[in-house]
A and B are shown apart, each in its own frame.
Chain A
Amino acid sequence: MRMRKFPATVFATLALLLIGLGEFGAAFPSAHAAGPLARLYRGARPQAMGGAFFAIADDENAIFMNPAGMAGIRHYKFSYLPVDITGSMDVYTTYSEGMDAFSSGISSETFNALAGKDLFAQVQIAPTIVIPNLGIGAVVDGQFAAGAKNSPYPILQMTYQTTNAIQAAWGTSIYRDRRGRSDLRVGAAAKLVSRRGGFREVPLPDALELQNGISSVAGQWGLGYGFDLGTQYVTRLTKQVTFSTAAVFLDVGDTDFTNHADSIPGNFGVGFAGKYDLGFSQVTLAYDYSHITQDIDWRKRTHLGMEFKIPMLSLYGGLDGVGLTYGVAFDAWIFRVTALSYREELGEFVGQWPSRRFTARIDLKFGL
């Protein structure tokens, strides 16, 4: 009985330490810029599950979302060309309406085409190498978004951001009970990031000059480094049911950049997950409460996700905040294709400026 309590006590202590860090961070809340919650990496599988992944952390996404999960990795995998392409629904609707508004500089037609919209496009390439206890990943990410507001005195809202990063994550078990049913893990990750640009609001008359180039919006390249900490407690309740909890602090103390590139605010969160293994299929439920140190609508912190997995096929669903997420993945060992949709909240409160986005991912890989 004493030994069964021990990992829970240690986990609680570690979690309290991380919570303490979070409380310290809450006293000095991370700056929040308008627009979606900033993050370095957005994985297709976590996003399809409503963003709930802290306690799952059982694949290469753990490099970026909970380094403690690396301690549970038992295989070798090289994902050498994972490409995510994301676009918003407004890109499609605006294209359907015609592109004349963008043919000759900033005009009333341009403003009317952009007003209240989120024209968003992103390409992310994030190759990873995963071995037991260790993962290394790179991120090459480019994002562009445009919108406009305030017809009396127009303000252009623009995102122009490119990011190059390399991150290494290490995780290890610090306690495993004799029967191997419970496993307490800790992990840490370090990242070096080069970034240019971010989200900008450009009022008149500067907006009228943008046709001469957007380098003024993008700015110069800036360099930053950051650290992640994570814990994970996994316990096998029965042969079929596994329960896990996690506490994570990503980008401890914020990851800031030189040359005014947008920073990545610290993200402290906790998560719970339950996995039911039926042999031929597997069902996973997960819940995360994230971005605790940020001054945001509490509903944006909540993430609920579900995965239903059978050989070669996975179905996803979830709630990211209150926005529905859903997706499907087909895995054929050397490649994996994923399609998903999620709702990004661009306003301060959920429901003010929602944007429906779609992601397609192709992942070329091999592993043992």
Chain B
Amino acid sequence: MDGTLRGLFKKTESVLSLLVIATLALSCAPPAFDVSSSLGRRAIVDETYRLIKNGRCDLAIDRIEPLYNSTYSDNGIRMARASAHACLAGVSFFDLISALVAANIGGSINNLWPVLSEQFPSNVSDTKTESSWEAGDALMAMLSPGKTLASSYQINAGTHNEGSTRVTDRVIYANTFLIFTSMSTIGTLLKRYSAASDNSQAAPVGYSAALFPSGWADVNTAVPNFNEEACSFAGAMITMVETISAAATEFGGANADTLNAIAGGLNLNAACQAGCAACAGAGGTANCTACPATLQKRDSCGQTLNDNNACAAAGIAAVVDASWQ
């Protein structure tokens, strides 16, 4: 009897030990957001979208950035990174597209600027414009397989996310998303430098009175030197028109009609040519008949009347200013 009880106890002890081990296993530390593991990378992307859903755009950026900057970066990770920054920049697809459709852009391109300014509220103390740039960089890095990048179109060379400003180098989803991140760059800059509260005439920073003696509404408050913000404004305009032309038909219906009306209402090559001509008329040597291929790079603009990119960009800004009176 005693031996039987001892044997029973030993067997019961084994059973209980196994269950205790199992219970302890349940209370061990959770897995980490480890960039070096496949599970960790998938979880990082999942967590990024979860934080975007909860409106924590800043935390979503913090979560995805290490993975985006690692050797493991791929198009899925770039899309998540672009989404996190687009979240901070204020991009919301359905809100934006419905506002654009309602604005009757086909009736007048002038209706575009108030919409973008209202959709993307921003001021110089926030980082919404900068986030729109980062979103655009990530999307430009979503390349189609097998593409060889020409240096004139290449951005972020030498990083794990080399990109191309050429629309045909990228996958279709990158181009469709770039339509709206470009709008966020344009809208945040319009809002930052527009007149007070009524979304009236705006002047993107950096366009000095010396470049356009007839002046802008806010030229006296603008930074006197042509800078990254000013260059990015023009670059975003070109990106917006190019990606609409390449990808708007993917949407169909009224959405496609509205987007095509935007692209059709802006003759950017003529604007660039007029800008170069204005610089030449003011004593510079700028000479362009179309928008320079490199103008979509926001660090490509110089600060003299001899620089094609800066003068072309100024021409684009003048068109916006003239149509938004």
Interface size on A, residues (CB 8 A): 44
B70, CB-defined interface residue at 8 Å: no
A152, CB-defined interface residue at 8 Å: yes
Main secondary structure of the interface of B (DSSP, over half): helix
Which of chain B's residues have a CB closer than 8 A to the CB of A272? 15, 18-19, 22
A241, CB-defined interface residue at 8 Å: yes
B115, CB-defined interface residue at 8 Å: no
Which of chain B's residues have a CB closer than 8 A to the CB of A350? 30
Interface range, B side? 35 or more
A152 touches B92 (CB 8 A): yes
Do A153 and B251 contact each other (CB < 8 Å), given the known contacts A302-B25, A353-B50? no
Convert B30-41 into 0s and 1s, putting 1 for each residue whose CB lies closer than 8 angstroms to a CB of A: 110000001100
- Bound-state Cα–Cα, A173 to B164, Å: 66
> Of the candidates A203, A304, A348, which one forms a contact with B26 in the assembled complex, judged by CB atoms under 8 Å apart?
A304
B53 touches A149 (CB 8 A): yes
A107, CB-defined interface residue at 8 Å: yes
Do A238 and B8 contact each other (CB < 8 Å), given the known contacts A108-B94, A152-B87, A352-B47? yes
Interface residues of A in 204-226 (CB under 8 A from B): 204-205, 208-209
- Bound-state Cα–Cα, A116 to B38, Å: 24
A75, CB-defined interface residue at 8 Å: no
> Of the candidates B8, B19, B79, B87, which one forms a contact with A151 in the assembled complex, judged by CB atoms under 8 Å apart?
B87
A295 touches B38 (CB 8 A): yes
A153 touches B83 (CB 8 A): yes
A93, CB-defined interface residue at 8 Å: no
Which of chain A's residues have a CB closer than 8 A to the CB of B52? 149-152
A243 touches B11 (CB 8 A): yes
A296, CB-defined interface residue at 8 Å: yes
B49 touches A149 (CB 8 A): yes
A236 to chain B, nearest CB (A): 10
B93, CB-defined interface residue at 8 Å: yes
> Of the candidates B18, B28, B30, B180, which one forms a contact with A349 in the assembled complex, judged by CB atoms under 8 Å apart?
B30
A298, CB-defined interface residue at 8 Å: yes
- Bound-state Cα–Cα, A298 to B83, Å: 29
Which of chain B's residues have a CB closer than 8 A to the CB of A237? 8, 11-12
Which of chain A's residues have a CB closer than 8 A to the CB of B30? 297, 299, 349-351
B95 touches A108 (CB 8 A): yes
Interface residues of B in 98-140 (CB under 8 A from A): 98, 135
21 CB-based A-B contacts, threshold 8 Å = A34-B42, A108-B94, A108-B98, A112-B94, A116-B53, A149-B49, A151-B92, A151-B93, A152-B93, A154-B94, A237-B11, A241-B12, A287-B22, A295-B38, A297-B30, A302-B26, A304-B26, A347-B43, A348-B39, A348-B46, A352-B46
Apart from A153-B91, A349-B43, what 14 extra A-B contacts exist at CB < 8 Å? A34-B46, A204-B93, A205-B250, A205-B251, A205-B252, A208-B252, A243-B15, A287-B18, A298-B28, A299-B26, A319-B26, A347-B43, A349-B46, A353-B46
Name A residues whose Cβ lies closer than 8 Å to a Cβ of B. Answer: 32, 34, 107-108, 111-112, 115-116, 149-154, 203-205, 208-209, 237-238, 241, 243, 272, 274, 285, 287, 289, 295-299, 302, 304, 319, 322, 347-353
